[in-house]
Amino acid sequence: MKVLVVGSGGREHALCWAIAKSSRCTKLYCAPGNPGIAAVAECVEVAPEDLDGVVAFARDHAVDFVVVGPEAPLVAGLGDRLAAAGIAVFGPSQAAAEIEGSKTLMKDLCAKYGIATANYARFDEPDAAKEYIRARGAPIVVKANGLAAGKGVTVCHNVNEAYAAIDHVMTEQTFGTSGDEVVIEQYLEGEEVSFFALVDGARAIPFGACQDHKARDDGDKGPNTGGMGAYSPTPLVSPALEREIMARCILPMAKGLVVEGKPYRGVLFAGLMMTPDGPKVLEYNARFGDPECQVLMARLKSDALEALYACATGRLDRIVVDWRAEAALTVVMAAKGYPGSYEKGTEILGLAEAEEIEGVYVFHAGTRRENGRLLATGGRVLGVTALGATVAEAQRNAYEAVDRIRWPGGFCRRDIGWRAIRRAG
């Protein structure tokens, strides 16, 4: 099978790394990829947002299967375009991807299909939104309706912060039309879990649960980021809870989307808050998480290509997904300054030494090669991933690898996995 992966981050590096190991993969392309991906796939200069370009490349190179990493091209309709060209695609249609692309649609579907989520109201007018905030008080959560590169959600600890968030999203239109409407919701307290399922219409199978660290600093302090590290499995999700999440949060949405005439195909990523009343859905995403995908691919024992292809072609009933017994943990190394502004072009050394450690893989997220030197180009730059018998051992291995990487321009958290490790005693 000739396969094309779309995207250029750590998630796509992990997908390429896993797919390249499949005996069914005869050729692997990545559009546009990165220097880490170049070690396992042929990188081609096509941007993920260039839907015509991706479809033309796939057709001209007789690609059998396209795996779409990021949400933006899916929300723009890449899945539909590839399907119309007769090319198998892992990733939902534009209509189904709206589950991530529109918070108001997501909330309305949760209400319609009885899925537990935070109480909410939606507004298309700032004064009414502020009036609601005044009546409700803080803490409260303000969300831009549309995609905002992971920056559209503000957890507000007082009402002034919430008014400022409304101004930011609606009045200043920081995220453009994504902020024409907002969802204001009840603040939920608890631990978060990233839950993944492969979905094919009304059928779904679990595909791993992780915990992600969204805050920049140790102790889960500091500003929110795209994710500073992740690990799997999580002690929070027992086999019984996994069944409950499938029954209450995944299958009702999959079946609901079929009823709505928007059957979902691909990975459905539910961001869950574990509350005293059980799991509640914070968001659905139409893609793998980043860095969650890195730990999932490290733990996946089954053939990744077979699993994704079975999902994309409606044959989920024919596969069994096996995971390694070990835990996997990813430490994200980011450029100093991230998630604010940061310097680009600083040099990274020592990756080969880091990867000499058994069970360690360094996934590239924001790197570029220039005259043989590896340079940082993004905010999140590397995902140092390790296996271990326990989360604690995976953590030790990951930080041993981190300490072999020589990159003065970068930083990372030193406590990824702390909740699981504390729980294990």
Element (H, E) at 164: helix 159-166
CA distance 154 to 83: 36
**Near ligand AMP in 189-248, by CB under 6 A:** 192, 214
**Residue linked to tokens 């970068």:** 410
Single-letter code of the amino acid located at 379: G
Task: From 296, 319, 3, 282, select the one nearest 150 (Cα to Cα).
Answer: 282
Task: From 220, 189, 197, 211, select the one nearest 118 (Cα to Cα).
Answer: 189
229 within 8 A of 330, measured Cβ to Cβ: yes
Residue with Cβ nearer ligand GLY (208 or 226): 226
**Near ligand GLY in 239-298, by CB under 6 A:** 285, 289-290, 292
227 interacts with, out of ligand AMP, ligand GLY, none, CB within 5 to 8 A per kind = ligand GLY
Task: From 56, 39, 60, 42, select the one nearest 5 (Cα to Cα).
Answer: 42
For the stretch 47-52, contacts whose Cβ atoms lie closer than 8 Å and that sit 24 or more positions apart, written own/partner, are 48/6, 48/7, 48/8, 48/72, 48/73, 48/78, 49/73, 49/76, 51/76, 51/77, 51/78, 51/81
**Residue linked to tokens 């079946």:** 255
282 near ligand AMP (CB under 6 A): yes
**Near ligand AMP in 283-302, by CB under 6 A:** 283
163 near ligand AMP (CB under 6 A): no
Sheet strands (E) in 243-391:
265-275, 278-285, 327-335, 347-348, 360-364, 367-370, 373-376, 380-388
227 near ligand GLY (CB under 6 A): yes
**Candidates 86-94, 187-195, 391-399, 406-414; binding stretch for ligand AMP (CB under 6 A):** 187-195
384 interacts with, out of ligand AMP, ligand GLY, none, CB within 5 to 8 A per kind = none
State which of residues 188, 351, 362, 394 lies at the interface with ligand AMP (CB under 6 A): 188
- Least distance between ligand GLY and beta carbon 285 (Å): 6
- Least distance between ligand AMP and beta carbon 369 (Å): 32
- Binding-site size for ligand AMP (CB under 6 A) equals 14
CA distance 231 to 386: 10
First to last CA, the chain: 46
- Least distance between ligand AMP and beta carbon 341 (Å): 21
State which of residues 5, 25, 31, 118 lies at the interface with ligand AMP (CB under 6 A): 118
185 interacts with, out of ligand GLY, ligand AMP, none, CB within 5 to 8 A per kind = ligand AMP
385 near ligand GLY (CB under 6 A): no
7 interacts with, out of ligand AMP, ligand GLY, none, CB within 5 to 8 A per kind = none
> What is the chain's alpha carbon radius of gyration, rounded to the nearest angstrom?
21
80 near ligand AMP (CB under 6 A): no
- Least distance between ligand AMP and beta carbon 116 (Å): 12
Task: From 197, 223, 225, select the one nearest 291 (Cα to Cα).
Answer: 225
CA distance 46 to 60: 13
- Least distance between ligand AMP and beta carbon 16 (Å): 26
CA distance 410 to 402: 11
198 interacts with, out of ligand GLY, ligand AMP, none, CB within 5 to 8 A per kind = none
CA distance 360 to 262: 40
Residue with Cβ nearer ligand GLY (104 or 285): 285
Residues 6+ apart with CB under 8 A from 262: 93, 95, 96, 98
Residue with Cβ nearer ligand AMP (213 or 262): 213
Q: Is residue 230 classed as helix, strand or coil in its secondary structure?
A: strand
Residue with Cβ nearer ligand AMP (223 or 314): 223
Strand partners, 231: 211, 329
Residue with Cβ nearer ligand GLY (179 or 226): 226
State which of residues 71, 80, 181, 185 lies at the interface with ligand AMP (CB under 6 A): 185
State which of residues 43, 89, 141, 142 lies at the interface with ligand AMP (CB under 6 A): 141
Residues that bind ligand AMP (CB under 6 A): 118, 141, 143, 153, 155, 185-188, 192, 214, 271, 282-283
Residues that bind ligand GLY (CB under 6 A): 212, 226-227, 285, 289-290, 292
